[in-house]
Structure 1
């Protein structure tokens, strides 16, 4: 039996317990809990938002607390096609960041876990010109990925994994502010994703660092179905592996984990960021058993430059999708991680 199989056998399924597992897990070295959503204001404007809480643990030593808590925050103004971002990175020193069973916080960014199905999130940029304050209420239908929460990211190297669940269709109300202009949110829907991995960081490859890259998308269709598609590459030279989860309106969950079950192909020309010069494929054709999604961004400029916090640059923004086979539409969020600025002719 090879080393990979031995390590896989040592992995355990995770028995989720909510609301406790909505918060961070001190035994793990890498974790993120994030929210994305679409909201409508009383003025008739449409917005998307991202609020991502990260936790990075660098040592298991008891004599010092080697944890960092970055946060990424963005609001996409769909009406004006403007993307606004803010970020921070704090430690527990001076109570600037931390977590309990009922809260996660870092600087001016807070997640309050009110119950299994209810959250309060708030965010305020350092300049105070970008903020949100939202109440999120779920329908009780948490979506667990993989096998009992164990989400393998690569069939070639199953030791790259996370414990992973989502909470789609969170009813969303509250306020947000862009450039100091306050908007009251009268309707909205949010999606929560929560993943953690690397209980012993020295024994498995890192999911989020090194040469790994991925294309991830969540979609909620207009018939009550929820989808996640994940296209993962361990390195630049490896072909992508594609996984998916689908839950229909009756609650039946289907996992697509075998090669060839899903085709996820970038189509059309790539968009080049004027700020970072990175090129991203923003239009996708996703074929899944029984249907296909044609995915397009609501607008192109939704890049997040996180070099001041997590040292990553990625594209994450609101998208729309059409399935001409099943005659339905969907909205969601697309994340593209691992795309790099091409070298100039004088660089080696």
Structure 2
């Protein structure tokens, strides 16, 4: 059966089941589940964080099915404008990494699924320079993307899709350590994103190809609206395709398509990383039916060099947004991937 027929069958029969679908899926080859958030410490300091769990399963068609479990971890001190990162890459050998229905783990990183609406995430890298332990509690309002959670990334190539949901506005409390200092987190809003794709691992994972790129942003506005904007490029020369998801404060979900419905354009001059020399567009204008966001980073130096794990270098950091009339504001996270050609992240 070809992949397009598999896709059609998925449209007919797939639906999410929680809390089971919060964990990884053994019959899929490519998956990631990540958390980002804006949090506030007892000291008054503001922080942003990223904790991303990945899984890639290989298969030779026989009994050999190794799995890789990279993890990316970052904390941004939004008050002092400082950024630290850590990462790991473990295999499913000797119980160093793996998953089951209530847990995903890799080395010093762990995601515990306490219930459909409550999670505990831990990061304790050996350097001790940074760490976190956060309890995340949701309000029950999980946000599916696309029809029944089938998120098509390209109208030109419908084979490029994922099963995709978000969990916005996770109430966040716990503890972080940053540059050796312990901070008690009293409040905050976290955002969970979870995607999986590629039923068969005999083909190269489409979404993770080194030449693909995307600009992704999640926003939570002060009125209770949740937004995701996604600008996908199948290759460096391909024209970007833009999609959007909006859930209003009353819970109504709208999906926006490229063109007159949603536009996502970089504005101003790109920022050049001193470390990697990559240029990133960090300021954006996003137009959607009934409104417009002007997005900017809280500070520029929030690049993640994943060369030691996924072989990808990208920008992921805390941002704020205002509408053109200055009547509404939002906070969220921006991810920019594919601005420098790198090896496919499974090539070690």
Structure 2 residue runs of 5 or longer lacking an equivalent are 343-348
**Corresponding residue number in structure 2 for 1:281:** 281
The 1-side partners of 2:292 and 2:75 are apart by 29
SS in 2 for 1:269: coil
**How far is the alpha carbon of 1:204 from its aligned partner?**
7.7
The 2-side partners of 1:35 and 1:143 are apart by 14
Listed one character per residue, the Cα deviations across residues 158-178 of structure 1 (whole Å, up to 9, x for unaligned) are 110000000000000000001
**Corresponding residue number in structure 1 for 2:8:** 9
The 2-side partners of 1:48 and 1:6 are apart by 41
CA contact (8 A) 1:265 1:284 kept: yes
**Corresponding residue number in structure 1 for 2:145:** 145
CA contact (8 A) 2:14 2:148 kept: yes
After superposition, residues 101-180 of structure 1 pair within 5 angstroms as 101-180=101-180
Which portions of structure 1, spanning 4 or more consecutive aligned residues, are displaced by more than 6 angstroms?
none
SS in 2 for 1:21: helix
The 1-side partners of 2:38 and 2:281 are apart by 22
The answer to whether the aligner puts 1:198 opposite 2:234 as a matched pair is: no
Inter-CA distance 28–173: structure 2 relative to 1 (3 Å threshold): same
The 2-side partners of 1:206 and 1:59 are apart by 16
**How far is the alpha carbon of 1:341 from its aligned partner?**
7.3
The 2-side partners of 1:204 and 1:86 are apart by 27
**How far is the alpha carbon of 1:14 from its aligned partner?**
2.5
SS in 1 for 2:170: strand
Inter-CA distance 69–94: structure 2 relative to 1 (3 Å threshold): same
SS in 2 for 1:158: coil
After superposition, residues 75-114 of structure 1 pair within 5 angstroms as 75-114=75-114
After superposition, residues 1-348 of structure 1 pair within 5 angstroms as 8-12=7-11, 14-59=14-59, 61=61, 63-202=63-202, 206-325=206-325, 327-340=327-340
**How far is the alpha carbon of 1:156 from its aligned partner?**
0.4
The 1-side partners of 2:205 and 2:91 are apart by 25
The 1-side partners of 2:19 and 2:73 are apart by 23
**Corresponding residue number in structure 1 for 2:345:** none
**How far is the alpha carbon of 1:64 from its aligned partner?**
3.0
CA contact (8 A) 1:276 1:341 kept: no
The 2-side partners of 1:142 and 1:216 are apart by 18
SS in 2 for 1:94: coil
CA contact (8 A) 1:278 1:341 kept: no
SS in 2 for 1:128: coil
The 2-side partners of 1:99 and 1:8 are apart by 26
**How far is the alpha carbon of 1:259 from its aligned partner?**
3.6
The 2-side partners of 1:341 and 1:30 are apart by 20
Length-normalised TM-score, structure 2: 0.94
Inter-CA distance 204–84: structure 2 relative to 1 (3 Å threshold): closer
Inter-CA distance 60–195: structure 2 relative to 1 (3 Å threshold): farther
Structure 1 residue runs of 5 or longer lacking an equivalent are 343-348
The 2-side partners of 1:6 and 1:122 are apart by 39
SS in 1 for 2:8: helix
Inter-CA distance 245–60: structure 2 relative to 1 (3 Å threshold): farther
Cα RMSD for the two superposed structures: 1.8
**How far is the alpha carbon of 1:228 from its aligned partner?**
0.1
